[in-house]
Chain A
Amino acid sequence: MALDSGITVAAGEASREATPADFFALLKPRVMSLVVFTGAIGLMVAPGNLHPVLAAVAVLCIAVGAGASGCINMWYERDVDAVMRRTRHRPIPTGVIAPRTALEFGVTLSVASVMLMGLAVNWVAAALLALAICFYVFVYTIWLKRRTPQNIVIGGAAGAFPPMIGWAAATGEVSLSSIALFAIIFFWTPPHFWSLALYRTGDYAAAGIPMLPVVAGAAATRRQIVLYSALMLPLSLAPFALGTAGPLYAIGATALSAVFLIGALRVWWSKSEAAARWMFRYSILYLALLFALLAVDHALPGVV
């Protein structure tokens, strides 16, 4: 079967009817889980007083908005997804869901999540959610991804919005502390994705995506990973410096960021695929633990 993008798919997959699980897969659930987590922590540590039901609605809106932008991304990237090993089994390249259906699904969910956030919570959070969705779709997916090796550096801003949206949901404003949470994810994104790109260079090259290892080579990418990882050490302490978190967070963040930097240095000097794989996996754990620490520190003030 040929899709409108000219991709040929296996007849067996194409003839299968789409299930709710296929539509759920369009929302990139693994990415969504980290987005929901950081958004919920932003909401939790913000100095606001939001009704628990409205807080749950805010988190739901962040989840649906993030999923919807992922869905529109899959619609736009369907030709590239069909080429890459990691993505060729997604519902659109396999022909299980028609590209137009995916686009309609993504746009509907985007509009619904922003409207619900505005009506139920506040319009500052809704505007930030709309900005995050538009940034991911128009700036990252359509403009940068196929044009520059800095794609995930600038595009990383889209994934950094959730804690800021959570914060705005609770307080109705954007503050320096919420910008610090944004900055942590923004500067974490390049070493995270470049570690993956180091051992998937062939895939990205075949798909024509100018990731840094494809364009500048592995050595330059390893150097950049070390630079960004070194930045994480002081940056992760910003919530402590701004009074959002206490000493418990500061101690934990220092330890986690030190391991992050050691992992980056290992990628640099060992030049092995194993080190890059370890760094990619640890980077996910690192961000999750860093934000979990924020929540624990907030729930247990004065422990240290």
Chain B
Amino acid sequence: MLCPAWSEMVLTEQEKRSRRRRNAALGLALGAFIVLLYIVSIVKMGG
């Protein structure tokens, strides 16, 4: 259950845009990290 203060929070358009950009950046960083771990695993298995 969300706390009342959280559920009543209204974000401005700029804040929403900032949040989207931040989420996209975090998603990209996590994706890159996973790809890197995948490549490392392939290399280590090959070695």
Specify which chain B residues have a CB less than 8 angstroms from the CB of A57 in the assembled complex. 36, 40
Interface membership of A116, Cβ < 8 A: yes
Given A17-B18, A112-B33: A53 and B43 interface contact (C-beta under 8 Å): yes
Say yes or no for A51: interface residue by CB 8 A criterion: yes
Residues of A within 8 A of B33 (CB): 112, 116
A119 within 8 A of B: yes
A20 to B25, CA, bound (A): 9
State the main secondary structure of chain A at its contact with B: helix
- The residue that A51 contacts in the complex, of B18, B25, B36, B43, with Cβ under 8 A, is B43
A54 to B39, CA, bound (A): 9
Contact of B43 among A20, A54, A112, A116 (CB under 8 A): A54
Distance between Cα atoms of A54 and B45 in the complex (Å): 12
Size class of the contact patch on chain A: 10 to 19
* Contact across chains for B47 and A51 when beta carbons are under 8 A apart: yes
Q: How far is the CB of B30 from chain A (nearest CB, A)?
A: 10
Which residues of A have CB within 8 Å of B43? 51, 53-54
Q: A112 CA to B36 CA in the complex, in Å?
A: 12
Q: Chain B residues with Cβ under 8 A from A292's Cβ?
A: none
The 8 A CB mask of B4-45 against A (1 = contact, 0 = none) is: 000000000000001000000100000001001101100110
Q: Is A120 an interface residue (CB 8 A)?
A: yes
Contact B25 A119 (CB under 8 A): no
Q: How far is the CA of A189 from the CA of B29 in the complex (A)?
A: 34
Nearest CB of B to A212, in Å: 40
Given A17-B18, A53-B39, A112-B33, does the pair A120, B44 have CB atoms closer than 8 Å?
Answer: yes
A70 → B minimal CB distance (Å): 18
A112 to B, closest residue via Cβ: B33
Which A residues are in CB contact (< 8 Å) with B47?
51
- Write out, one digit per residue, whether chain A residues 108-119 have a CB within 8 A of any chain B CB (1) or not (0): 000010001001
**A54 with B40: in contact, given A17-B18, A112-B33 (CB under 8 Å)?**
yes
- Which residues of chain B have C-beta atoms less than 8 A from A120's C-beta? 37, 40, 44
User: Given A20-B25, A51-B47, A112-B33, A119–B40 Cβ distance below 8 Å?
Assistant: yes
Lowest 5 A-B CB distances belong to which pairs?
A: A120-B40, A53-B43, A51-B43, A51-B47, A57-B40
CB pairs A–B below 8 angstroms (9 shown): A51-B43, A53-B40, A54-B44, A57-B36, A57-B40, A116-B36, A119-B37, A119-B40, A120-B37
